[in-house]
């Protein structure tokens, strides 16, 4: 029986949700299993860290490359191959006899995961066109459901079966993902680019983003003094990437895309807003336990944040499709900033209930308002043939903003803690902190952290209010973003 276009769209949406859930879930579920894996394979602390880092670094390093490959070779095909690769890497992880094989399998999962996540969003843009905002909202909601359910399910598998099952369960999900992706294939030929992949550009961006991500993660943990040289390597690689792309006739990343107002503005806003989000979620969880809440109660207090996003994100995505995204990309980040300001006043366990919960409600509403429109605006602002690279750029901006903010806010917390009575031997925001001086210094550090979070969110709101164009988003304004021609390239040399 022939399927209608609407049915094929729904199947494509289901495929992208399942595929992205695989990639997102393996970030969180493995954290739950790390202590058991360490005991079984005798990894040590460094081995535990690399089981997590190998996946995250490979994922972050290849977002842009994965998007470019999808644009050139076909997003559905690249997405499907990525899912199959993820399944094979998961099988290798499940049967890993030692830590080295497991870490290698995790890196392979990250490589495949980059091709899955970037091309899933690009597929939504391709399948839904002008209605991509609502589709992204649905994608966000359902992947959010999986994100909530994943750690408890993973914990149950680890406790009552084996940690190896957290990787084996990926296999049937991958099979279902490939089936839905194939079933959602449109009758018309889906557009693909004919240009060859820009190998020098791909190598430089992978090195640049990979070393930057590693330096941010490890620097935040152990201090940046030992990782300054990696920041120099990252900067050199990224500068070289821009030079190479500027001179290429068919670059992996057409720099002309940044002439598009909404594309540039939405990515700058993404960097700022996701920086605020990342730092807020990490330090709110730490602070609630500092005040005396258990890890379980902390997770219960934070759970409504994701639930509200699941319920409301599709609605705001659809509204942004209809009315234009500027209002939502202004109000959403502004609510995040107001939430951070209100959280600054929470200095006792009792205040969590009458100040903290309203602040988290504002945070949840702001997140629901902005999360679909900000992604959809970045994807819809470029011609469809660049949807993959646009998805890769947007995901990279969010990832780097998140990591950079966590590192910077951590530095602010440490500096304020030590300048207000804490010592280098004390730990800011430590659980069960009995020293009164350290306790007071931790609260000062918390307020400084939330001030930084609020500043980032309000900066994101300002970008949305000033630079996002509703006319451009609705197609009432010409968008200039064609690939550079050989003549243009020759003029640059």
pLDDT digits (tens, 9 = 90+) for 196-205: 667 788 788 8
Rounded Cα distance between 429 and 409, Å, is 13
Half-sphere exposure of 110 (CA within 13 A, CB side): 23
Classify the C-alpha dihedral 406-407-408-414 as positive or negative.
Answer: positive
Q: Return the DSSP state at 354.
A: I
Please name the residue that has the structure tokens 């299993």. Answer: 33
Run means of pLDDT, 10 residues per run, the chain, 493 residues: 77 89 77 78 76 81 84 87 95 93 93 90 81 77 68 73 89 93 69 63 83 78 80 91 83 84 95 90 83 76 75 86 93 96 94 92 91 88 82 84 81 87 76 85 94 97 95 67 40 37
- Rounded (10°) angle between helices 199-222 and 63-73: 150
Contact of 30 with 192, CB cutoff 8 Å: no
Cα 268 from chain centroid (whole Å): 14
pLDDT of residue 491: 37
Structure pTM? Answer: 0.76
Q: Which of 50, 45, 27 is CA-nearest to residue 35?
A: 45
């Amino acid at each position: 029986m022939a399927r209608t276009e609407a049915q094929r769209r729904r199947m494509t949406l289901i495929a992208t949700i399942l595929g992205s859930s695989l990639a997102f879930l393996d970030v969180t579920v493995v954290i739950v299993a790390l202590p058991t894996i360490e005991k079984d394979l005798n990894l040590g602390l460094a081995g535990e860290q690399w089981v997590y880092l190998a996946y995250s670094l490979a994922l972050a390093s290849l977002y842009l490359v994965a998007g470019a490959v999808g644009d050139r070779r076909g997003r559905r095909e690249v997405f499907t191959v990525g899912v199959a690769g993820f399944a094979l890497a998961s099988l290798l992880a499940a049967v890993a006899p030692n830590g080295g094989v497991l870490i290698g399998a995790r890196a392979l999962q990250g490589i495949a995961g980059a091709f899955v996540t970037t091309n899933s969003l690009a597929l939504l843009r391709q399948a839904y066109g002008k209605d991509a905002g609502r589709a992204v909202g649905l994608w966000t909601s359902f992947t959010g459901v999986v994100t909530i359910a994943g750690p408890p399910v993973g914990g149950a598998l680890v406790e009552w079966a084996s940690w190896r099952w957290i990787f084996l369960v990926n296999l049937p999900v991958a099979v279902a993902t490939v089936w839905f992706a194939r079933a959602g294939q449109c009758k018309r030929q889906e557009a693909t680019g004919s240009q060859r992949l820009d190998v020098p550009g791909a190598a430089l961006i992978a090195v640049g983003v990979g070393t930057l991500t590693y330096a941010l993660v490890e620097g935040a943990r152990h201090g940046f003094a030992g990782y300054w040289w990696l920041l120099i390597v990252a900067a050199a690689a990224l500068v070289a990437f821009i030079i190479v792309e500027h001179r290429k006739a068919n670059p992996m990343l057409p720099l002309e895309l940044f002439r598009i107002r909404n594309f540039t503005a939405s990515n700058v806003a993404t960097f700022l807003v996701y920086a605020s989000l990342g730092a807020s979620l990490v330090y709110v969880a730490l602070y609630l336990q500092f005040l005396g809440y258990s890890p379980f109660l902390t997770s219960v207090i934070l759970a409504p944040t994701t639930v509200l996003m699941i319920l409301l994100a599709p609605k705001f995505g659809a509204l942004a499709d209809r009315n234009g995204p500027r209002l939502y990309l202004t109000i959403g980040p502004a609510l995040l900033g107001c939430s951070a300001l209100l959280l600054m006043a929470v200095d006792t366990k009792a205040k969590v209930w009458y100040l903290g919960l309203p602040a988290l409600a504002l945070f949840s509403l702001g997140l629901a308002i902005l999360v679909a429109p900000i992604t959809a605006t970045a994807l819809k602002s470029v011609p469809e043939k660049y949807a993959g690279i646009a998805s890769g750029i947007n995901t990279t901006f969010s990832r780097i903003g998140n990591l950079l903010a966590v590192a910077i806010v951590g530095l602010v917390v440490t500096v304020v803690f030590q300048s207000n009575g804490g010592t280098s031997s004390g730990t800011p925001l430590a659980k069960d902190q009995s020293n009164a001086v350290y306790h007071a210094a931790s609260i000062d550090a918390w307020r400084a952290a939330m001030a930084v979070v609020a500043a980032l969110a309000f900066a994101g709101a300002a970008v949305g209010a000033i630079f996002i164009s509703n006319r451009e988003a609705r197609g009432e304004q010409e968008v200039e973003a064609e690939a550079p021609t050989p003549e243009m390239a020759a003029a640059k040399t």
